[in-house]
Amino acid sequence: MEKRITVLGGDGIGPEVMTQAIKVLDAVGLRFGHTFHYDYQLIGGAAIEETGHPLPDETTASCTESDAVLLGAIGHPKYSDPTLKIRPEQGLLAIRKELGLYCNVRPVTAYSGLLDMSPLKNERIKGVDFVIYRELIGGIYFGESGRSEDGKYAFDKCEYYDHEIERIVRKSFEEAKNRRSHVTLVDKANVLESSRLWREVFDKVSAEYPKVETDYLYIDNACMQMILNPRRFDVVVTSNIFGDIISDEGSVIAGSLGLLPSASIGEHFSLFEPVHGSWPEGAGFDIANPFAMVLSAAMMLQHFGLFEEAEAVKQAVNTCIEQDYLTADLNTIASKSCSEVGSYLSALLTAKTLA
Which sequence positions are flagged as catalytic? 141, 188, 220, 244, 248
Q: Give the C-alpha separation, 305 to 171, whole Å.
A: 17
Distances (CA, A) of 188 to 138, 196, 267, 286, 340: 16, 8, 28, 42, 45
CB 346 within 8 Å of CB 29: no
Q: Give the C-alpha separation, 59 to 290, whole Å.
A: 23
The DSSP-derived string for 273-307 is: EESS---GGGTTTT----HHHHHHHHHHHHHTT-H
CB 146 within 8 Å of CB 280: no
Burial class (CB in 10 A: 0-12, 13-18, 19+), 220: exposed
User: Residue type for 310, please?
Assistant: A
Please, how many CA atoms are within 13 Å of residue 37, restricted to the half-sphere of its CB? 9
CB 68 within 8 Å of CB 3: yes
Which residues have CB under 8 Å from 316's CB, separation 6+?
24, 345, 348, 349, 354
The DSSP-derived string for 77-119 is: GGG--TT-SS-THHHHHHHHHHHT--EEEEEEE--GGGGGGSS
Which residues have CB under 8 Å from 314's CB, separation 6+?
295, 298
